[in-house]
């Protein structure tokens, strides 16, 4: 009988890694790491020093324009989309059978917004935790409720 391969995506706005579990007693094995430099760049480093200026629609007045988006959020959303596209491709190729997502709340929201129906159906659990700072040997205890490792 073929083992059920579960990929666990552990991600935040600038880094991600995938670990594999192939069934009870098999533990977790590293699969791939992702590094997204743009996700670490602070908004103040991306944006202009001062907001642009605009004229009033009527009259001679001028005022500063408000920023329409947070560049850090935009960059992190892009990273989430790239991760989901990679996972979609690998799932379609039969590389893994099930998926677990682990990310801080905000980034997990970006992943959820990007996920396809097919990949969502393969997702067995989502953990709202930032586990990226943990070494691989400290990860299993965080997935005991979901997987038999």
pLDDT mean by block of 10 residues, the chain; 149 residues: 93 97 94 85 52 60 59 90 98 98 98 97 97 94 90
Fold of 6-42+70-139: Nucleotidyltransferase; domain 5 (3.30.420)
User: What pTM did the predictor assign?
Assistant: 0.81
- Would you state the pLDDT for residue 104? 98
- Would you state the pLDDT for residue 54? 59
Q: What is the largest CA-CA distance in the chain?
A: 77
User: Buried (b) or exposed (e) across 84-94, using 16+ Cβ within 10 A?
Assistant: beebbebbeee
User: So where are the chain's domains?
Assistant: 6-42+70-139
- Would you state the pLDDT for residue 72? 81
Closest CA to 90 of 31, 148, 138: 31
- Would you state the pLDDT for residue 148? 86
Strand-pairing partners, residue 11, are 16
- Would you state the pLDDT for residue 49? 56
């Amino acid at each position: 009988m073929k083992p059920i391969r579960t990929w666990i995506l552990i991600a935040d706005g600038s880094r991600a890694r995938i670990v594999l579990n192939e069934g009870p007693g098999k533990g977790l094995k590293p699969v791939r790491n992702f590094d997204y430099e743009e996700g670490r760049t602070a908004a103040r480093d991306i944006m202009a020093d001062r907001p642009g200026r605009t004229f009033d629609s009527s009259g001679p007045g001028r005022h500063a324009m408000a920023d329409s988006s947070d560049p850090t959020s935009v960059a992190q959303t892009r990273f989430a989309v790239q991760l989901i596209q990679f996972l979609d491709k690998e799932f379609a190729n039969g590389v893994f059978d099930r998926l677990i997502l682990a990310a801080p709340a905000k980034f997990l929201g970006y992943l959820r917004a990007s996920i396809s129906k097919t990949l969502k159906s393969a997702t067995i659990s989502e953990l709202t935790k930032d586990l990226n700072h943990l070494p691989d040997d400290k990860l299993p205890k965080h997935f005991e409720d979901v997987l038999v490792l």
